[in-house]
Amino acid sequence: MKRFGKLVHFEFNRFFKIYLVLIGITILSQIIGIIVESTNYINLANKSMYEDHVSLKQFIEENGMMSFAHIGPSLWLLAPIAIVAVSLLFYMIFIWYRDWLGKNTFIYRLLMLPTNRISVFAAKATTILLYTFGMIAIQLVLFQVDAQLLKWIVPDEFRFDMTTREMIQTFDFIGLVFPYSFTEFIIHYGLGMIVVSVVFTMILLERSFRLKGILFAVLYGAAAVLVFILPILLNYLVFNEYLYPGELIIAEIITAFIVLVSSIWTSHYLLNKKIRV
């Protein structure tokens, strides 16, 4: 366990500087976005009320009260979230290929460590998970900062305060990242880890068999998707919606577990039998 912890710490540190840059971009963009959008709203209110002689009630009826809902869907918040998401997706692939780059391929040094080789697989997957949870925690804190900035800039009569849950709900897609219940959390991040495991296995297939491995990787990825959605296909195309929703969920959990176990087993086999040191 101590060696595994060192592996995770090592993998975590290798991306940490870039991770800090991503955090900085996210914080800076969101704070600037809150300031710019709030200031624009107040300037519009001042112009309407003092130059165009529009009443407060009429202005609010025409423009609505200022809230996080005005800023959430903007590029100020969406752009850094997208950059972080794409960066982590890219790193999920790069975390393996980086070890094969250069004259002295580092992967062989990793695999020669006095520990089970599947620990390297697990350490890389854990690192991806830690980085994801880290960004989620930072974003939750930023929601509180954003709400406080709005209170400082926008007077009470122009502002509608939102809870953290309401702020999250202003994003159409963000429920995938911030689940609304513990069950959704398990489902979303369980699926996320399955995706990571399948992608890792596809990479190891390509690394083990090179040109042929590309075909093997594509076939494996397609097979994993097919196995996962098989209960849905059978239920709607063959059994005419015979299964109840609860039964279908149980079937999906079973197939998801099969995909996860097969990915880990295949990766374990490739690391021990096909990738030579």
HSE on the CB side for 11, CA within 13 Å? 27
Per DSSP, 175 falls in state G
| Residues 144, 164 contacting (CB under 8 angstroms) | yes
| Burial category of 245 from C-beta neighbours within 10 Å (exposed 0-12, middle 13-18, buried 19 and up) | exposed
What does the longest C-alpha to C-alpha distance in the chain come to? 79
Residue 202: give the domain boundaries.
Answer: 180-277
pLDDT at residue 67 is higher than 90 = no
Q: Which amino acid is present at 13?
A: N
Spacing of C-alpha 9 from chain mean position: 20
Are 168 and 189 found together in one domain?
A: no
Domain boundary among 152, 178, 204: 178
Structure tokens belonging to residue 156: 């009470």
pLDDT of residue 267: 94
HSE on the CB side for 21, CA within 13 Å? 7
The crossing angle, in degrees rounded to 10, of helices 16-46 and 56-63 is 140
Write out pLDDT tens, residues 176-205.
667 767 777 788 888 889 999 999 999 999
Per the model's pLDDT, the better-predicted residue between 236 and 276 turns out to be 236
pLDDT of residue 255: 94
HSE on the CB side for 194, CA within 13 Å? 22
Are 89 and 164 found together in one domain?
A: yes
The β-bridge partners of 159 are 66
Residue 197, H or E segment: helix 182-233
| Residues 158, 41 contacting (CB under 8 angstroms) | yes
Are 153 and 226 found together in one domain?
A: no
Write out pLDDT tens, residues 21-30.
999 999 999 9
Are 169 and 216 found together in one domain?
A: no
Are 115 and 208 found together in one domain?
A: no
Write out pLDDT tens, residues 79-107.
888 898 889 889 998 888 888 875 556 77
